């Protein structure tokens, strides 16, 4: 597949740059007739075979009640809090889909949003939408593979999944330990292991490391979730 995919209408142009299990979306407003009323952009994401969802934006309106809001969606959903940029990096699993996001085809729909004459956000209008479909998967070309970690342990995404006081290793000074042990619980009370933390945080970089280690026969495959990650 090409390194990027583009789609456009007379109103909006969207380009999706394909990365390592992530997608950089960039767009441009082609019709500048209403640029003075531009309020931002909403992004909907639809993994193949899964329900669509809106990406989140942590920057909200100061008074959300003064703007069109979808009460069925999070206050941080971009349908309620449009993005005030012309680009956005989507890493599956940062907010939606939990610790093991699916790979495969993803459809992204970017919609330009506008204020009315009273500077109040208008409801989403699909005539200002453009959709692109790309493959989201680990990068591999021939014998070349890339791997990247996710954000650090103080990132909003890590805290969202594992909590503000998540432990990344047991309290003991033991160097080797069973990473399948329970490390803590998230905000919903769901328990997670140290291995869950390492798998999510290490992402594709962790996969590449284990592939290399296994190829060199340094550690058996069936032991890769025990101790080595400490």
% of the chain exceeding 90 in pLDDT: 51
* Residue 93 contacts residue 23 (beta carbons within 8 Å): no
Helix (H) or strand (E) holding 206: helix 194-215
Inform me whether the pLDDT recorded for 187 exceeds 80.
no
Mean pLDDT of 178-197: 87
CA distances (Å), 102 to each of 15, 92, 96, 179, 189, in order?
A: 22, 8, 11, 23, 23
* Residue 38 contacts residue 114 (beta carbons within 8 Å): yes
The region of weakest confidence among 36-50, 59-73, 107-121, 157-171 is 157-171
pLDDT one-digit tens code per residue, 11-49? 999 999 999 999 999 999 999 998 999 999 999 999 999
Nearest to 52 by CA among 60, 40, 43, 61: 43
* Residue 221 contacts residue 207 (beta carbons within 8 Å): no
* Residue 111 contacts residue 129 (beta carbons within 8 Å): yes
Inform me whether the pLDDT recorded for 56 exceeds 50.
yes
pLDDT band at 230 (very low <50, low <70, confident <90, very high): very low
pLDDT band at 1 (very low <50, low <70, confident <90, very high): low
Q: Which residues in 147-172 are b (16+ Cβ under 10 Å) and which e?
A: bbebeeeeeebbbebbeeebeebeee
At residue 29, the pLDDT reads: 95
At residue 214, the pLDDT reads: 80
Inform me whether the pLDDT recorded for 216 exceeds 90.
no
Using the structure block, give the residue that is written with the tokens 């012309």.
86
Using the structure block, give the residue that is written with the tokens 């909590």.
163
Strands 140-141 and 144-145: antiparallel
* Mean per-residue pLDDT of the chain: 87
Nearest to 43 by CA among 132, 160, 150: 132
pLDDT one-digit tens code per residue, 138-162? 988 888 888 888 876 667 778 777 8
C-alpha–C-alpha distance, residues 62 and 66, integer Å: 9
Between 75 and 150, the higher pLDDT residue: 75
Helix (H) or strand (E) holding 112: strand 104-114
Mean pLDDT of 118-143: 94
C-alpha–C-alpha distance, residues 179 and 145, integer Å: 26
C-alpha–C-alpha distance, residues 230 and 179, integer Å: 8
pTM: 0.80
Q: Which of 47-61, 151-165, 178-192 has the highest mean pLDDT?
A: 47-61
Domain ranges of the chain: 4-137, 144-223
The region of weakest confidence among 61-65, 88-92, 94-98, 105-109 is 94-98
pLDDT band at 228 (very low <50, low <70, confident <90, very high): very low
At residue 210, φ and ψ (nearest 5 deg) are: -65, -35
Candidates 3.30.2400.10, 2.60.40.10, 3.30.479.30, 3.90.226.10; CATH matching 4-137? 2.60.40.10
At residue 69, the pLDDT reads: 96
Nearest to 106 by CA among 121, 91, 118, 85: 91
C-alpha–C-alpha distance, residues 215 and 206, integer Å: 14
């Amino acid at each position: 597949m090409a390194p990027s995919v583009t789609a456009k209408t007379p109103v909006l142009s969207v380009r999706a740059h394909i990365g390592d299990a992530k997608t950089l979306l960039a767009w441009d407003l082609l019709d500048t007739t209403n640029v003075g009323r531009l309020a931002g952009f909403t992004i909907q994401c639809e993994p193949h075979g899964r329900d669509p969802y809106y990406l989140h934006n942590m920057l909200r309106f100061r008074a959300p009640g003064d703007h069109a809001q979808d009460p069925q969606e999070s206050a941080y959903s971009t349908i309620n809090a449009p993005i005030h940029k012309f680009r956005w990096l989507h890493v599956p699993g940062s907010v939606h889909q939990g610790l093991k996001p699916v790979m495969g085809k993803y459809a992204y729909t970017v919609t330009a949003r506008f204020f009315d004459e009273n500077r109040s956000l208008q409801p989403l209008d699909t005539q200002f939408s453009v959709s692109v479909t790309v493959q989201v998967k680990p990068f591999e070309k021939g014998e070349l593979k890339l791997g990247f970690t996710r954000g650090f342990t103080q990132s909003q995404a890590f805290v969202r999944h594992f909590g503000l006081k998540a432990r990344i290793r047991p309290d003991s000074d033991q160097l080797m330990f069973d990473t399948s042990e329970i490390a803590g619980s998230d905000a919903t009370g769901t328990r997670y292991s140290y291995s869950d933390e390492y798998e999510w945080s290490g992402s594709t970089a962790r996969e590449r490391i284990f592939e290399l280690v296994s190829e060199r026969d340094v550690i058996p495959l069936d032991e890769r979730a025990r101790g080595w990650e400490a």
